[in-house]
Amino acid sequence: MSEPKWLDAGEMAAWRAYRVSSILLEGQLHRELVDAHDITLADYEVLVRLAERPDQRMRMSVLAAEVASSKSRVSHQIARMERAGLVERDNCSSDGRGVYAVLTERGMAKLREAAPTHVDGVRRHMIDLTTESQQATLAKIFERIGAMLAETPDD
């Protein structure tokens, strides 16, 4: 096996700054939602994805891909959210194996309640700290990384 191409000081600084700040940012946004609305950041993301759909429903497999999670993890998450009355499951009539996650009225109400807190947190902890040019650069960088990783097989 060949010697790895080690990171130089600049590359290491970029990696570590990303790694630490992304963990801290996600943790902060999560705590703000839990403290103010008793909802996790992961659950909030699911509610947003469902609310963005015209029929407020999404196949579980598509939802898992959109929130960058495994099908199994999303299934457990949806089961928990279903017990809380935020979502329902519905079988796909055209495909007996397909299952939809469907946003409930209670889920939409929770989303409307929590959205201002989340948006304020994103703005305070990221958007207001960066310029439009930096935001565009971040978007390009992470869209590129996300697209490459989405094409990578899970095995």
Q: Give the DSSP per-residue string, 22-51.
A: HHHHHHHHHHHHHHHHS--HHHHHHHHHHH
pLDDT at 155: 45
pLDDT at 132: 97
pTM recorded for the entire structure: 0.89
Query: Residue 63 and residue 69: Cα distance in Å, rounded?
Result: 8
Give the DSSP H/E element, type plus range, for residue 107.
helix 105-125
Residue 104's nearest CA partner among 60, 50, 52 is 50
pLDDT at 154: 57
Please report, in tens digits, the pLDDT of each residue of the chain (155 residues total). Answer: 889 999 999 999 999 999 999 999 999 999 999 999 999 999 999 999 999 998 999 999 999 999 988 889 999 999 999 999 999 999 876 666 689 999 999 999 999 999 999 999 999 999 999 999 999 999 999 999 999 998 866 54
CB-based contact 42:35 (threshold 8 Å): no
pLDDT at 11: 97
Return the CATH architecture of domain 25-151: Orthogonal Bundle (1.10)
From residue 103, alpha-carbon distances to 39, 45, 48, 55, 135 in Å are 15, 12, 9, 9, 30
pLDDT at 45: 97
Query: Residue 146 and residue 155: Cα distance in Å, rounded?
Result: 17
Can you name the residues that pair with 102 across neighbouring β-strands?
57, 88
What 8-state DSSP symbol labels residue 103? E
